[in-house]
Structure 1
Amino acid sequence: MEHAPFTALARVYDAIMADIEYDAWADFILSYAADVDVKVSSALDLACGTGNLTRQLSVQGLSVTGLDGSAEMLAVAAGQVPGVTWVQGDLRTFDLARTFDLITCVFDSLNNLVAEGDLLAALKRAQAHLAPGGLLAFDVNTRLGVRELWEGDSIEGLEALPDGSEVHYHWSHRYDAAAKLGVVQAFCRLLGGEHDGEEFVETHHERGYDPAELEDALREAGFASWEILEYPDYAPPQADSPRVWVFARRGPK
C-alpha cells in the first residue's frame, strides 16, 4: 500500500487539487516579469507535476518545457497538455543544454529538497538554464509554514474522478522537530470503477526555508538580484509568513 512520493498519487492528483489557482499564479508570475521588463517567449516549468501551471504558461503562447522527477506525473501531463516538451529529470542535476527566459517552480516543490545542499544544487541548475537577464520564480513554505502546514494537521475529502469513480483522501501532517522536517502521510482510497477499494499511502517530507536562508542560497548560486515577496500583492514578507515567493534574475551577461 505504501508507494514512493508522486507515483500512485498521479492518478488522483488533479481531482484533489482541483481548487488550486494555477491560473492566478501564472498571472502573478507573468505580471511580475512584465513589470521588471523581462521579455518572455520561452519557459521551463520545474517540478511540473501533471502540468497545471505548465498549461497556463503554454496558453499564453510561450514555448514551454515541463520537467519532473516522476514518470507517473509526466504521463498524466503529456496526456492532457499538448504542445509542451516533457522531460523527466532531477531538480538538482538536470542539464537540458539550452536556456529559457523564464523558469518556474511552484506549489512548494523546492521544499521537497530536504538534504543539506539540495536547495543550492537546484538553484545552481536553474541559474545555469536562464538566458541572460532571465527570471526564476518559485514559492516555498517557510520554517513556520512547514511546522504549521494545516489547521488541525489534517485534510480530508471526497472527489470525483474522470471515469465516474471517486477518491476519498485523508492526509495527515506532523512536524519532526529533531529532523526539522514536515511529514505528510497521504492516504487515498478509490471508490467505484475497476479499482474500487484500492488504497495507497505516500509519505512526503518537506524542509522549510526562511528568507535569510534563501538569500544566502541565491547569492551562492550566482543570481544577480532577487526579491522575496508575498502572494498576491507582492508585499514584503513578515516574520510569521508561512509561504513566500522568490523572483530572482540572472545577470545580463
Structure 2
Amino acid sequence: MYEEFAQVYDDLMREIDYKQWGDYVFRLLLNAKNEVKSVLEFGCGTGNITSELAQKGYAVTAVDLSEEMLTVADEKIAEQNLGDVRFFMGDMSNFQIGEEFDAVVSCCDSVNYLPDKAAVQNFIYCSQDALKSGGLLLFDINTPVKFKEVIKDNTYVYDLDNVYCVWENSPDFEAGRMDYDLSFFIKEEDGRYSRYDESQSQYIYTVEEIYHMLKNAGFMNIKIYAFGTFLQGSNECDRVQFVAEKK
C-alpha cells in the first residue's frame, strides 16, 4: 500500500488545511497536565502534520508503515530546515522505541486503517507504553455515519496538473470495512503517463468501542470532541477527536 501513491498523495489531499489541523492539535496539547515538549506521531504519512508540530517547537519522532511515505516526509522536513524530527518505519499497533514522550499523536484517521479491534487496542497499549505519566494520547477517527452517509459508494475523479486519478469507494458495512480502489496516471518527464493501481481499506469503529479500549488500557480523563472543536462528539459527527491521559 502507498508504494506509488506517496508520489501524488499531497496533490490529491490538497484540500486539507493541515495548518488548521496542526493548530487544533496544538490547542489540545496546551491542556496537558505537564508541558509538552516531545511528541511521538503515529501514521505520519508524507509529514504534513509532522511539519506543523515541528514548526510549533516540538521535538517530533514520526512513525509510518510506508517507506515511500517516509521518504517524502523526510525530504519535506529537510526542505523546511526543521531539524528536530526523527523518522522510523514501523507498525503503529506494534511499535516500541524504548523512550517516553510527553504526547502521542495520530491524525488523519490513521486509526481507521487498523484492521480489527485487537489492532486498535494494541495501538493504544503501544501509545501507553510510550507516554510519560500524565502524558496525552490524541487521535481522530472517521465515524460510522461518515462512512455510511458521506464516503459511501462514491467515485471521485481528480484531474490535476501532473496526475489523473479515479478513486472508487466500495463499502461492506456488514464486515465493517470500506475498500478504496485507485487508478492513477502520473505524467512522466517525457510527457507520457504511467498508470498505477492501488487498493486500500479502512475499518469502521464506534465511539463507544474506542472509549472502552482506552478505559481497558487504564487511560483517564478521556475526552471525545466533535473534530475541530471542544464540544462533545458522538457517532453522529463525521469525525471525532479522542484525548486521553496516562495515569
TM-score range with shorter-chain normalisation?
over 0.9
* Match status 1:237 vs 2:238: no
Is the Cα–Cα contact under 8 Å of residues 188 and 194 in structure 2 kept in the other structure? no
**What secondary structure, in the 3-state scheme, does the structure 1 residue paired with 2:125 have?**
helix
Q: Tell me the percent identity.
A: 27
* Match status 1:217 vs 2:217: no
Moved more, 13-22 or 103-112: 13-22
C-alpha separation in 2, matches of 1:228 and 1:116: 18
Q: How does 1:173-192 map to 2 (within 5 A)?
A: 173-192=169-188
Larger relative contact order (CA 8 Å, sep ≥ 6)? 1
* Match status 1:128 vs 2:124: no
C-alpha separation in 1, matches of 2:118 and 2:151: 27
Q: TM-score, normalised by structure 1?
A: 0.90
C-alpha separation in 2, matches of 1:201 and 1:222: 42
**Cα distance, 1:183–1:222 mapped onto 2, change above 3 Å:** same
Q: Which residue of 2 aligns with 1:163?
A: none
Aligned pair count reads 242
C-alpha separation in 2, matches of 1:94 and 1:246: 20
**Cα distance, 1:195–1:54 mapped onto 2, change above 3 Å:** farther
Shift of 1:195: 7.3
Q: TM-score, normalised by structure 2?
A: 0.92
Gaps of 5+ in 1: 161-165
Gaps of 5+ in 2: none
Shift of 1:242: 2.2
Q: Which residue of 2 aligns with 1:19?
A: 15
Shift of 1:226: 1.0
C-alpha separation in 2, matches of 1:190 and 1:19: 19
Is the Cα–Cα contact under 8 Å of residues 22 and 49 in structure 2 kept in the other structure? yes
**Cα distance, 1:36–1:86 mapped onto 2, change above 3 Å:** closer
C-alpha separation in 1, matches of 2:65 and 2:218: 24
**Cα distance, 1:181–1:26 mapped onto 2, change above 3 Å:** same
Residues 179-233 of structure 1: per-residue CA shift (max 9 Å, x gap): 2201111221113524732111211111112111011111112212210111222
C-alpha separation in 2, matches of 1:250 and 1:85: 23
Shift of 1:37: 4.3
**Cα distance, 1:152–1:182 mapped onto 2, change above 3 Å:** closer
Q: How does 1:89-168 map to 2 (within 5 A)?
A: 89-150=90-151, 153-160=154-161, 166-168=162-164
* Match status 1:32 vs 2:38: no
C-alpha separation in 1, matches of 2:152 and 2:204: 17
Residues 90-149 of structure 1: per-residue CA shift (max 9 Å, x gap): 111110100111211111111001124010001110111111111111110112222334
**Cα distance, 1:108–1:195 mapped onto 2, change above 3 Å:** farther
**What secondary structure, in the 3-state scheme, does the structure 2 residue paired with 1:43 have?**
strand
